[in-house]
Every structure is written in C-alpha cells, then in structure tokens.
Chain A
Amino acid sequence: MRCKEVRSLFSTLMDGELCAEDKSSVEDHLCGCRACQAGLDELVHSREALRSHLSLRVSHGFEGRVLQAIGQAAGESTCAARRPMLEALIDFMQPGWRQIAASVAGALLLLYVTCAAAGLGFGSAVRSGRAEPGWLPEPQMVLEEPYRYFWYRGWRSDEQPQKRTHRSSEEIERCFDVIFS
C-alpha cells in the first residue's frame, strides 16, 4: 500500500470498521513509515480534542420551556380542529391560491353569462320537457353537467327538438366553435 492509500483508511481504522485484511496492510505500512504514523497520531489527537469539547450543559429550565411550548402547540392544534372547515380552508389557501381560485370562478361565470347572452340554448332540458325555450339553468346545474347545457342555438326555438340524449363528436365540436368563436 502507498502512503496516500493508507491515509485514506485512517478514519475507518480509528473507528474499527476496517476489514481484517486492510487493517493488517495498514499496520504493516505504519511499522515502516514514520510520516504516516505521525499523520495518524495527529488525527487521533485532533479527534480527542474535539471529543472533549463537544458537550454543552443544558440550561436550567429547558424542559419546562419545551413542555410549555408543546402545551401551547397542543392548544393551538385543538383550537384549529374546532374551527369551521371553511375558515380553516381559507387559512390554508395561500394568497396565490386564492387568486387562482377567484380567476377560475370568474372565468366560469363569464362563460356562463356569455353563453346565455349569445343565445346558446340549453336544448337538452328544453327537449326533455323540463323547461320552456329561453329557460336558463341554475349555475350549479351547469357546473355539475356542463355538457348537457351547452348546445347549438338553433335547437332552442327554431328547430324541432329531437329525442336524442347523446351528441356526436362533430356536434360537440361545432358547439365549442360557436362558444369560442
């Protein structure tokens, strides 16, 4: 073994984690190399210095402070559990998330109003006899089943309603063309 290789094993040797074969090789080398032996002695000396100055006396009253802090933390978590869910949700939502949620809600509302203003029908409900032409569904109904209420304007009043419950993909595409054109 060369000196550099031997020195790289000093740390493991000091910890007694070196395998028997490597340990024997290192010890053989150390017998004939004063420089490496001095290097190992210095490493051991610095470790002893470190070990003897690593302890700190914990200040009086440390446990009391920790237990008090834990008591406060426990009280806060209990209070938090009792708060209404909505309030907790608002607290949880960071300002960034609030802005995103508000933007999404605004966009949905705008879409709904635009559809209504453009006369986009809600043919399914009309055809099924649940409503008269010109009827507007509640926003909650649109949110729950948006595909049911977006429909082509012609079906609302001018054309004969057809008894269909499913739309073809072409019809759906045409519908979105109208909405977003």
Chain B
Amino acid sequence: MATLVTLSERCGVDKGHEHALLQRCRAGDAGAYAELLCLYRDKAVNLAYGILGNPADAEDAAQEAFIRVFKNLRSFRGEAAFFSWLYRIVVNVSIEMLRRPSRREVPCGTQLHARTDAESEETERGVNVRSVLAALPVHLRAILVLREADELSYAEIAGILDIPLGTVRSRLSAAREAFRRKYREMVG
C-alpha cells in the first residue's frame, strides 16, 4: 500500500505551522489569512479548473471557496485536515457553478494565449486533454483531478467527496477508463 503523505506535507506545509496559522486567522490576523491563501491558492484554482474547464470560472470558484472558508473558519474544529475541508468546499462551489445557467462557456482552446510554433503541439495536446476531461461526467472529472493533479490517497479522496473507499476505487477506475477511451478517440 502507498504511504500516506498528506497534501499539506507535499506542499511543504508543517502541520504545526498550519495549526498556528489557523489560530491566527481565527483571531482576525489578516496577514495569516494571506499566508494561508498563498499556500493553497494554486491547488484550489487547479482543482476548480479541472472540474470547470475554464480559467476565469476556476478563479471565481476558488475565490468563493476562500470566502466561505473565511466565514466558517471559527466552526472548523480541526478534526479533519484543513486542505480536506478546503477541497470539499472548492468541489462543492465548482459543482454549484456548473449548475448556474449564467456560466461562461469558453471553448478549451480559446483561453490559451498565443504561443510560439514550438509550443503549438504541446498546446494542442493540452486542448485535447481539456476537451476529453470536460466531456466526462462531473463526478468522474472531480475524482480524476483529485487523484491525478494532487495525488491524494484514496482515504483523502473519500473524505473530501464524502464517499466510501470502495466507491473511490470503482469510480476512479471508471473515470480512468472513460478518459482513456475518449482520449484515444480524439488523438487516434
């Protein structure tokens, strides 16, 4: 079995330091909150991006998630890992955004900036990957991003999505198989 290494540790965040940061945030220290934001900003935005497929929506979702974290920080008792709580909020906000009728619909390729010829092939591959990911059902997309982007353990994913371990295993297998099939159809 794989050794359990939490996301905080992979991000280089010392658990004691994170605990102290959270305490300072609860006490209203704006600097502590800015530090916490820097630690998890990229992870939160990338998770939302994987689910939403749109950079602007991803940043909006991450912003909304951080605001909810701020509002509910006093009720966070630290029984679960902080990142697990944050990720659950990001996933929920992203799913809520997907249901909004006013959501921006930007094709996967259009948000990419103009690149040099040398980068065009890589860009095209990225567009294909994004298109395939966007074509998957949202529950498969979410679990795939949690596992592949952050290499979270099955137990961590189960905690974030609030599903049993067995469901994580079967859903992840289904998500990978669906991605493989669609990716092969697209790239040949």
Contacts and interface: CB of A to CB of B under 8 A. Distances in A.
Interface of A: 8, 10-12, 14-17, 19, 42-43, 46-47, 49-56, 58-59, 62-63, 65-67, 69-70, 73-74, 77
B176 A46 contact: yes
B133 A56 contact: no
Contacts of B91: none
A41 to B, nearest CB: 11
Contact of A49 (B63, B154, B183): B183
Contact size class for B?
Answer: 35 or more
Interface string B121-164: 00001100110010000000000110111000010000000000
Contact of B45 (A52, A53, A56, A73): A56
23 contacts: A10-B176, A12-B173, A15-B172, A42-B180, A42-B184, A43-B177, A46-B180, A46-B183, A47-B148, A47-B176, A49-B125, A50-B148, A52-B129, A54-B145, A54-B148, A55-B149, A58-B41, A62-B59, A62-B62, A63-B38, A67-B33, A69-B63, A70-B33
A63 B41 CA distance: 8
Interface of B: 1-2, 30, 33-34, 37-38, 41-42, 45-46, 49-50, 55, 58-59, 62-63, 66-67, 70-71, 125-126, 129-130, 133, 144-145, 147-149, 154, 169, 172-173, 176-177, 179-180, 183-184
A55 B46 contact: yes
Given A62-B62, A63-B37, A73-B67, 7 more contacts: A15-B2, A43-B180, A50-B179, A53-B125, A54-B46, A56-B46, A66-B63
B165 to A, nearest CB: 10
Given A12-B169, A54-B145, A56-B45, A63 B34 contact: yes
B129 A62 contact: no
A interface secondary structure, majority: helix
B173 A17 contact: no
A38 to B, nearest CB: 12
A74 B70 CA distance: 9
B66 A70 contact: yes
A19 B169 CA distance: 13
Contacts of A49: 125, 129, 183
Given A11-B176, A50-B144, A17 B2 contact: yes
A61 to B, nearest CB: 10
| Closest 3 pairs between A and B when the two form their complex, measured CB to CB | A11-B173, A53-B129, A53-B126
Contacts of B34: 63, 67
Nearest to B44: A58
Contacts of B133: 50
A51 B37 contact: no
Nearest to B123: A53
Contacts of B70: 70, 73-74
A67 to B, nearest CB: 6
B148 A51 contact: yes
A67 B71 contact: no
B72 to A, nearest CB: 11
Nearest to A55: B46
Nearest to A19: B1
A176 B62 CA distance: 60
Contact of B59 (A17, A43, A58): A58
